[in-house]
Structure 1
Amino acid sequence: MIDIKVPELAESVTEGTVAKWLKNLGDFVEKGEDLVELETDKVNVEISAEEAGVLAETLAEAGDTVKVGDIIGKIDETSKNTDQGSTPEPEDNKEKEKKEDSTEQKSDKQNFTEENNVERGNEKSHKSRPIATPSARKLAREKGVNLNEIAPRDPLGRVRKEDVVEHQDQSKKEYDNKIEKEKQVQSDPMKPVERIRMSRRRQTIAKRLVEAQQTAAMLTTFNEVDMTNLMELRNRRKDKFLNDNGVKLGFMSFFTKAVIGALKKYPYVNAEIQNDEIILKKFYDIGVAVSTEDGLVVPVVRDADRLDFAGIEKEIGRLAEKAHEKKLSLHDLQGGSFTITNGGVFGSLWSTPILNSPQVGILGMHKIQKRPVAIDDEHFENRPMMYIALSYDHRIIDGKDAVGFLVKVKELIEDPEALLLEG
């Protein structure tokens, strides 16, 4: 038998949740074929077969938490594929199992006799050491099952492997029934509710957001940007840009360039705190928040300062597509130095973004909305305006630098041609 083990996932990721088995018991699998999908704090990971064979056993079910190195299943590499798609158990294996069962029966009968002789007068000790086959004890240890809770069908009172499996199935059914009843039982039938278990990723997102607020001295400063010049430039250049580069010219490339220009002037916003040291980052890996069905993820545009507008738009598009298809790797999500989030795509007019730890700054973009703007003492114009917000860690960023950073972003966006020189 070949053990299916949880592999090394990534730095600081030590466990995951079984999302689903991609193969059923008895299915033949080729070497390298995906067997099971794990959900980690950041991405989903597929575990593939190290050898060809039949999926003979699964030791973890969907929803179970498993750690790196855990054995979650077994592959019988001696079984072969058949034209019918099923894999009969080899005769030599059957004979082997018969011999093992015979050996177990003899061993257990002997154990039964010995235990009765030794522990006949000690009921408490007898209960603490139930009679069970070695395979049953092994499976019970792996599943975390108390053998004392299992009612054996063997007339000798011996717990066999199938008793453990049946007990697990029954326990799962009882748990599922309990959850279903909790969903149905309401304190007020006129006010129905539904209980939904949080996914591992949603739990992790919730934990990280709370940690960010508890560990950082987080403040938010605001400003507003007149988008007139940028929108006019974009309207003039978007068709040619699309024809030349095969990608649309959006606002994110402009804001990414503006953020890089501001980070160069205010380097403490592009930093992090490690113990009693400040780590100033001399690179510009910009995280771009993407909303997915499973929650918010922040893939990173690497070396964004070395990319032109088309390069940034292509990379953002590539990462967003991977995010929606659940194909992001851990590398795609790690190591960002600053984050941009755009709540404006959902209609948000004003918000206070939460830091993406261990980063110390995050820029929030919002909805573009026309508002009357004073041109001089006597004239007003309706201008497309956007509120922008910078949340920052006040432990290393002073208010003066935070405001200066946001003003610099505003200046570069309102004069988009300056991005070519300073972004």
Structure 2
Amino acid sequence: MRMTMTQKILAIHAGLENVTAGQLIEADIDLTLANDITGPVSIAEMQKAGFDKVFDKEKVCLVMDHFVPNKDIKSAEQCKICRDFSNEQGIVNFFDVGEMGIEHALLPEKGLTAPGELIIGADSHTCTYGALGAFSTGVGSTDLAAGMATGKAWFKVPSAIKFNLSGKLQKWVSGKDVILYIIGKIGVDGALYKSMEFTGEGVSTLSIDDRFAICNMAIEAGAKNGIFPVDETTLAYVNGRVKREFKVFEADEDAHYDEVIEIDLSSLRPTVAFPHLPENTRPIDEAKGVEIQQAIIGSCTNGRIEDMRVAAEILKGRKVCKSVRTIIIPATQAIYLQALREGLIEIFIEAGAVVSTPTCGPCLGGYMGILAHGERSIATTNRNFVGRMGHVTSEVYLSNPAVAAASAITGKITDPADIM
């Protein structure tokens, strides 16, 4: 059959026995997703096209996470559109203040994404759910509108690059460093409209949070999606969360890949992406010493409980540099509560950091940490384009949570190993 894991998922959702790279297909959707920025556009497009009902009120998801709690009148109006629509349509999976979280952390947590499923979202980091062995990808708001109304979407079947992982990550190195290393190696268009498929013995050494971070940033290499095989780690995560049957897919042994890239996880060091592209990466030894004014630990990439624990391990008993505004954002209410129960929030506050309710906030320059002229931020977010987090002269340096926490203490980009 010669199909990759992604191609098998697309084939079954298109009702076909086989698909090949480049083929155009129409496929059934298991879940559609929009947020408070993209949702209103999709709703308007759906209504403009003459549709008055969603295809399935349980398979349309709206998450208020970008400017929530609302920062101004416009953001409040955006949320009201989504809220009214959800009430009218009886949308089951509508998440607002109090139960919301950053969408790409919230949906897996709620059991709304499962192995083998096909998920589209009007947000580029929808590719996150490949960590669970699903095909998930970002689409435009118009495409999402069609999906919300019909339960179908068209795709060009992607070819694939195989990343064969071996070894085990060292202390203070995480999935964020794996994907930053890969993007630095192949570039921001190195996997353009391709599937990034991760395999090899090293996969079993990666936590589910590591895998979420890796798949989350597949789009930063231009990929259509990122995907991991389903193993014991995956099943342990979905067990008790996913209440429906799901199907596990594996790539054929003779599946065709455009390229196979070998990565020894044990050789990786903490990695930092310098402005203004995620591909502008350097190992920590070449990044040390850059002064910062802000540190952000959170986002759909690194706002999970493992990230909170790593940051707390470094910040415990220490104080952040007085000149560094340190903002920590648990990605969901459940993660926030878990961090509270474990005493992590207390550690953060005693260290001089502030802790925010779950929000995308500063990642996209929304609020909760906007940069002024010439300021620099170390951030566990996923993009560092010009003006991404504020003024066009500001700079964003992407890192893992350990590096961000260590840098918050010293006031300059720091290797965690140097202070621990």
Report the structure, 1 or 2, having the larger strand content: 1
- More RCO (CA 8 Å, sep 6+): 2
Pair in the same fold by TM > 0.5: no
Bucket of the pairwise TM-score, normalised by the shorter protein: under 0.3
Q: Which has the greater radius of gyration? A: 1
Q: TM-score, normalised by structure 1?
A: 0.24
- Structure with more helix by fraction: 1
* TM-score, normalised relative to structure 2: 0.24
